Chains A and B, each alone.
Chain A
Amino acid sequence: MRLTDANFDEEVFNSKMPVLVDFWASWCIPSQMMKPVIDNLSKEYEGKVKIGKINVDQNPRTRERYNINGCPTVIIVKDGREVVRRVGAQSDSQLRSLIDQYGE
């Protein structure tokens, strides 16, 4: 799902389900290449883990508030708390093992 400054807290920190957030930018080639992998995972984990994408240029407040200073950054939030953060391109299997370890 598309996350924005407007819905971020509600969808991520007040979520009952664990949430994986991909912080991306149009100028960041690795995050462009991760898009299809993220989309594929969001279908696969539907109902178990919420998977959202947020553009860091379009949503500066969230970027600053959560101190995102590298792109792409992936975090997992569980029960309103960030439990893990990875900066840099993540492969399909790395994302899956993150979700398995922290998201379920």
Chain B
Amino acid sequence: MEKLKLHNSDLTCWNCPAIDLAGKVDFRACGQSTKELAKISEDSDTYIMAECHRRPELGLFDPMGITFEECPEWQRTAYGYMLKDMRVMILGIDGYLGWTLALWLGKLGCNVSGVDNFSRRDWLKERGAHTVVPISRMTERLSAAKEVLDIDINFRQLDLMNDRERLKEFMDEIKPDAIVHYGECPSAPYSMIDAEHAIGVQKNNVLGTLGVLFSMRDIVPETSLIKLGTMGEYGTPLTGRPLFEGMFPADAVLTWDNREWSLGGELTPRDPVSFYHVSKVQDTYNIVEACKYWWLRSYDVMQGVIFGVYTEQVSADPRLRTRLDIDEWFGTVINRFVAQAVIGLPLTLYGAGEQIRGFIALEDAMQCMTRLIASPPEPGQYAVVNQMSGYYSLRELAETVAKIGKSEFNLPVKIQRLENPRVESERHPFEPIYENLPKRYGFKPQVSLEEEIYRMLKLLTQPKIKTRIEEKRHHIVPKTWWSGEKRQVETIEILPSGSQVETEEEKDEAYGR
């Protein structure tokens, strides 16, 4: 019986990081003048040949001849074929996503390594905030991963910006098949505090990543780079044009003066909404260029707003928990709402509260990343995925948290509107395209919004965690104004319960759906 096809069954050695094409393919010769080209004559054998690091007995062979499905080194998993003992290096392994992915991949049989300089812990300390779900020190995390899940993680403490030689040594030692880059500062408000913070975030993110690209060029050019971007790179343009996945599709055209051009492959305009988001846009351009100049291969992941606390691995032991921030700088919106619900602070909408964003639960984000790791891009390929499972207005989300808080946990949840400290559209059209992950990589969301909110409320209502939220209550309502003003935002109104959700028709009209 023929096996059911997986999303990456038909990829070939052309995509595989275990293949050595070096010197055997004349990349980028097209349109470029090089001496090499003169060598190709009518008689010479030009078929490109590859060697496999894992199966040297194959000798020189046609890299398009063997598919992942046929190769014994690629094994069937729930997330597509995966390279046996696939070596994955996580930059920013101590963070909310990095630690969760490390355990997730370790459990899948990957050979996980990672680096971190613990700057996320430092930034929180600097602001006087803390993760409300307590997390262990790295040494304890590593030994608990071994003890509870039987996972060995190879960790190195280093700074992407300042320890580039050590990063290169580590890359050379590990020879990762894939590098997941979570090693950036992920906060818009933190980047808007003052000049020092804006400069710090842009330096850390843009220059840190630029160094990673050069290191990869020198040490592991065949490794795929899976880099975290954000849907916030696109912003919410008021033209209402669709938010394509990075580039315009080929059937998008520019017409002017009775002429027509395909926009296919051109990067779509970006409309970032903070200096942090600008750093992510700059990364995008740097990665595009690195792929173009050096044939690096990369997925740039435009992640929607992440939320949640659950994966099987982080829930297996208190020492394995990943962090959860709820402060004005590092707390993403649903995480913050849930914390507010738990301590009886009215959920805080900024301005009209009609801002719409794409969202994805922690566990679904892990599934997406795994599927991308399993499908390395082609040499030189730069591709973008919009990683989200749905989109909601912030008001809808607040209502959902309030509803579950009331009905399942007996919490008297209120919602309030605050002055908006950000400069952003409070009511806008929003048409994200997020087809690549489901169509090309087989992603199916597994976690509903309600289910994850329930899990979060269950964890955060534990007395110890509730106390930790109470301790930092004063850091939830924002004080960081995009304008530079220094004062706490004020409440505009407390919304009457249950009356604020618009009808579907009103929403369609308002959002230009």
What is the interface of chain A, defined by CB distance below 8 A to chain B?
A: 5-6, 23, 25-34, 36-37, 56-61, 63-64, 68-71, 88-94
**B window 236-273: CB within 8 A of A:** 247-253, 260-266
B295 and A27 form a contact (CB under 8 A): yes
Residue numbers in A under 8 Å from B248 (CB-CB): 33
**Once bound together, how far apart are the Cα atoms of A71 and B31, in whole Å?**
8
Q: Which residue of B28, B44, B47, B253 contacts A27 across the interface (Cβ within 8 Å)?
A: B28
Contact indicator A61/B31 (Cβ below 8 Å): no
Q: Could you list 17 A-B pairs, sorted by A, with CB under 8 Å?
A: A5-B47, A6-B47, A25-B380, A26-B379, A27-B27, A27-B292, A27-B381, A29-B247, A32-B383, A33-B249, A34-B262, A57-B379, A58-B14, A63-B30, A89-B264, A91-B250, A91-B264
Given contacts A31-B265, A33-B247, A94-B260, whether A69 and B30 have CB atoms under 8 Å apart is yes
Contact (Cβ within 8 A) A61 B46: yes
Q: Cβ of B60 < 8 Å from any Cβ of A?
A: no
Given contacts A69-B30, A89-B265, A92-B250, A64 and B40 within 8 Å (CB-CB): yes
**Known contacts A5-B46, A25-B30: does B25 contact A64 (CB below 8 Å)?**
no
Known: A33-B247, A58-B14, A63-B29. A27 touches B40 (CB 8 A): no
Distance between Cα atoms of A23 and B29 in the complex (Å): 13
In the complex, whether B291 has a CB less than 8 A from a CB of chain A is yes
**8 Å CB interface, B6-40 against A:** 14, 25-31, 37, 40
Instruction: Write the nearest CB–CB distance from A103 to chain B, whole angstroms.
Output: 18
A81–chain B nearest beta-carbon distance, Å: 20
Contact A60 B262 (CB under 8 A): no
Partner of A26, one of B26, B252, B381: B381
The DSSP consensus for interface residues of chain B is loop
Q: Type the 1/0 row for B378-413, where 1 means its CB is closer than 8 Å to any CB of A.
A: 111111000000000000000000000000000000
Residues of B whose CB lies within 8 Å of any CB of A are: 14, 25-31, 37, 40, 44, 46-48, 64, 247-253, 260-266, 288, 291-292, 295, 377-383
Contact A32 B26 (CB under 8 A): no
Q: Which residue of A lies closest to B27 (CB)?
A: A57
Q: How far is the CB of B184 from chain A (nearest CB, A)?
A: 23
* A33 B265 Cβ-Cβ under 8 A: yes
Q: Is the CB of A32 within 8 A of B379?
A: no
Residues of B within 8 A of A33 (CB): 247-250, 264-265
Q: Which residues of B contact A5 (CB under 8 A)?
A: 46-47
In the complex, given contacts A26-B379, A37-B249, what are 9 additional A-B residue pairs having Cβ atoms less than 8 angstroms apart? A23-B30, A28-B265, A29-B382, A34-B262, A36-B249, A37-B251, A57-B29, A58-B48, A90-B264
Of the candidates B248, B249, B265, the one having the most CB atoms from chain A within 10 angstroms of its own CB is B265
Whether B30 and A68, one on each chain, are in contact in the complex, defined by CB atoms closer than 8 angstroms, is yes
Chain B nearest Cβ from A69, distance in angstroms: 4
With a cutoff of 8 Å between Cβ atoms, the chain A residues found around residue B252 in the complex are: 91
Considering the complex of A and B, which 10 residue pairs feature the smallest CB-CB distances, nearest first?
A: A27-B380, A30-B265, A26-B378, A91-B262, A29-B265, A33-B264, A89-B264, A89-B262, A61-B46, A69-B31
Question: Given A26-B379, A27-B292, A33-B265, are A61 and B27 neighbors across the interface (CB < 8 Å)?
Answer: no
Check A34–B264 contact: CB distance below 8 A.
yes
Q: A27-B27, A27-B28, A29-B382 given as contacts; is B40 within 8 A of A60 (CB)?
A: yes
Partner of A57, one of B26, B40, B251, B383: B26
Cα–Cα distance between A18 and B28 once the two chains are bound (Å): 29
What B residues does A92 contact at CB under 8 A? 250-251
Contact across chains for A91 and B27 when beta carbons are under 8 A apart: no
* Cβ-closest chain B residue relative to A25: B30
Q: Is the CB of B30 within 8 A of A70?
A: yes
Q: How far is the CB of A18 from chain B (nearest CB, A)?
A: 21
Chain A, residue nearest B253 (CB): A91
What residues of A have a CB within 8 angstroms of the CB of B31 in the complex? Answer: 68-71
Pick the most buried of B249, B250, B252, B378: most chain A CB atoms within 10 A of its CB. Answer: B250
Q: Complex formed: what's the CA distance from A29 to B378 in Å? A: 12
